[in-house]
Amino acid sequence: MRISVLGLGYIGLPTAAMFANRGFNVVGFDVDPDKVKRVNDGLFDIEEPGLRAFLRDAFNTGNFRASGELVESDVFIICVPTPIDKENKPDLSCVIDAGKRVSKVLKKNDLVILESTVPPGTTENVILPLLEKSDIEGGEDFSLSYCPERVMPGKILKELTENQRIIGGIDKNSCQRAKELYSTFVEGDIFTTDPTTAEFSKLAENTYRDVNIALANEFARLCELHRTDVWDMRELANNHPRVDILKPGPGVGGHCLPVDPWFLVNGDTGLINKARDINEGMIDHLEGLIREHTGEGGIVVLLGTAYKANTEDDRNSPSMKLSERLDDFDVRLHDHCVKRHEGEIHGVVEGAHSVVLMVDHNKYKDTIKPEEVLKLMEGNTVIDTRAFFDPEEWRNAGARYILLGSNRL
Ligand code: SAJ
């Protein structure tokens, strides 16, 4: 059985390698000739634990190659990007392009699977009409399913096999065929439904998290106003058996949470839209705190440029947005995990007026010592956005320690 995977990115590449390693004949298709060449040379830009060796295994089976030409196959899996435009509207151009390409080589009995995150209704209203021709009808002559990817960067290979999967087929046979295919490597449960429910559930998962983080961020700002501490309050409230308040912070980064909720918003200004505003607004709030506590044009160090703890992924990271805002300051970026921001911590904090902890990487626990850092700094402002440091330790060492979401008298 030949499988073509369209899009050799974060999801397509590991998925293609996975099927090749399970004995399928796999062609990884990409529109970018440079990417095709690099993958065939075993070179690619994704920093994902284990992926390099996994891809090498795939090549060694003799079952895998990358290509700039989409050839006839039995299965097509579409894993192309679906970004949002400047107005936060979904940009489906890559998905549409992929659908058109598949349509040119589609034949009877093929199975088409869409994995890209899309607005509800896309599989049935956009992809299906692109694939149907006068002599070939969806369900009757070919199968079509929506199977969202749900893996987390840094754990892709583990989560590809261990996570549960949702399959939304346009008919029973489409569900069954996709389920059989994924069962060759998925160890978690596989649930079947219709395409729109599957599309919606993927968006609902990430929107649920974004809205809950927005509530935590709203609490943080209210606690500052009421001169109390969100972190203590949260711990107390979370003792309730049915309450689980998430952690506030400098905003929500990554490639999923700041994007996926917009696929549901669809022009309205309700809760989901508001939550996005609150999370994005944390950057304004933090900018205000930094401006208030750092002298004009001073040196500001942002510790952590990844989008969250212990990852090297810096897509949509709050630190990158914040550094653009502070262009009238001398901003220094540091991150143990992000290659271009690595460096010796003492050199980075030397002469700084403010140090802002943006990401709670474990490594900062061992490398940041309050007395040593304060001795090197010009000012003494330390802003902690994650309740990561020990306030007493910093204050005893002479810091003006400011904790996001806390403003006790
Ligand atoms: N964050 C907070 N407070 C919290 C938790 C997270 O501010 O209490 C921030 C993080 O610092 C980060 C952002 O939210 O900036 C996103 O981090 P995350 O761990 O919540 O989510 P992602 O984007 O790494 O992965 C999510 C996951 N979805 C859910 O947990 C519902 C993952 O399972 C999905 O596979 C992934 O999106 C995806 O690709 O859709």
From the candidates 35, 179, 202, 308, give the one annotated as an active-site residue: 202
Confidence of residue 272 (pLDDT cuts 50, 70, 90): very high
Give distance in angstroms: CA of 257 to centre of ligand 1.
6
Confidence of residue 338 (pLDDT cuts 50, 70, 90): very high
From the candidates 256, 308, 321, 337, give the one annotated as an active-site residue: 256
pLDDT of residue 188: 96
Confidence of residue 409 (pLDDT cuts 50, 70, 90): low
280: nearest Cα among 315, 305, 251, 259: 251
Percent of the chain with pLDDT over 70: 100
With contact defined as beta carbons under 8 Å apart, do 70 and 99 qualify? no
Confidence of residue 47 (pLDDT cuts 50, 70, 90): confident
CA distances from 253 to 55, 85, 283, 311, 408 (A): 28, 17, 11, 12, 28
Q: Is 256 a catalytic residue?
A: yes
Q: Is 104 a catalytic residue?
A: no
pLDDT tens, position by position, 81-138? 999 999 999 999 999 999 999 999 999 999 999 999 999 999 999 999 999 987 899 9
Q: For residue 154, is pLDDT > 90? A: no
- The pTM of the full predicted model, rounded to 2 decimals, is 0.94
Question: Which atom number of ligand 1 is nearest to the Cα of residue 246?
Answer: 8
| DSSP-assigned letters across all residues of 36-52 | HHHHHTT--S---TTHH
**Ligand 1 neighbour 10 (Cβ under 6 A):** no
pLDDT tens, position by position, 363-378? 999 899 999 999 999 9
Question: Which atom number of ligand 1 is nearest to the Cα of residue 205?
Answer: 31
pLDDT of residue 135: 86
Give distance in angstroms: CA of 248 to centre of ligand 1.
13
Give distance in angstroms: CA of 253 to centre of ligand 1.
8
Question: Which atom number of ligand 1 is nearest to the Cα of residue 253?
Answer: 15
| Mean of pLDDT over the chain | 96
